[in-house]
Amino acid sequence: MADQRVAVVTGASRGIGRAIATTLAADGQAVVVGYAGNEAAAKEVVEEIAAAGGKAIAAQADVAEEDEVSAMFDLAVDAFGGVDVVVNSAGKLALSPIAELDLDVLDDLHRTNIRGSFVIARESARRIRAGGAIVMLSTSVVGLQFPNYGAYVASKAAVEAMMLILARELRGRDVTVNAVAPGPTATELFFEGKDEATIERLAKQPPLERLGAPADIADVVAFLAGPGGRWVNGQVLRANGGII
């Protein structure tokens, strides 16, 4: 349909990003499934969306590379006519006490999480159509301040600050800019390197006493990207089941 909204979702080949892509498609949006390296997984997402009657196309892009990101947006325009929603779910996680962190790991983490978010934000600001929505993924650990998350939280705090400024810079454009900050969410990335006791402890922290599911986060993003979220702008939504 001519008025179909078009979403670009980075990090969409697995985890929260995949859930966001399929949820936006179920809401009727055409989706560009952005991925860094796992082409097979991205194609699976495209096939899942198509099987459910939606429209999707895969696009490889390192979010920190401006030419690759520009090409991903070009693909969205060529395939579907424009860009109305951008969700930056691409990110890296590294856990270590600050005193012990290898600075090469820090640089790699921040290249994706800070530079990558900035590149996506910049391209979004240049390309997104009136009535659009930009959603960045942060983390509730910015507020919870768990040990070992220093480098990761530093990167996501930068994302939140960037988002708040972009929301104000887009004054008059009819574009919303928000961040969603998940709490512990049951993804491959979350389970990696954690023993059962740690997982159980984290699951018990919210008053709802469970881990978040990727769909829980996707539903929040879909709200911000849809008609119901038009009056929410320049905000960080901490989707964590009530952890304080």
> Which residues belong to the active site?
152
Q: Is the sign of the CA dihedral 142, 23, 242, 237 positive or negative?
A: positive
DSSP per-residue codes, 77-128: HHHHS---EEEE---------GGG--HHHHHHHHIIIIIHHHHHHHHHHHHP
Q: Is the sign of the CA dihedral 215, 218, 220, 226 positive or negative?
A: negative
Closest CA to 17 of 225, 221, 212, 194: 221
Q: How far apart are CA 56 and CA 73, in angstroms?
A: 14
Classify residue 152 as left (phi > 0), alpha (psi -120 to 50) or beta. Answer: alpha
Residues 6+ apart with CB under 8 A from 178: 133, 134, 135, 136, 163, 167, 224, 229, 232, 233, 234, 235, 236, 237
Cα 158 to the chain's mean position, in Å?
14
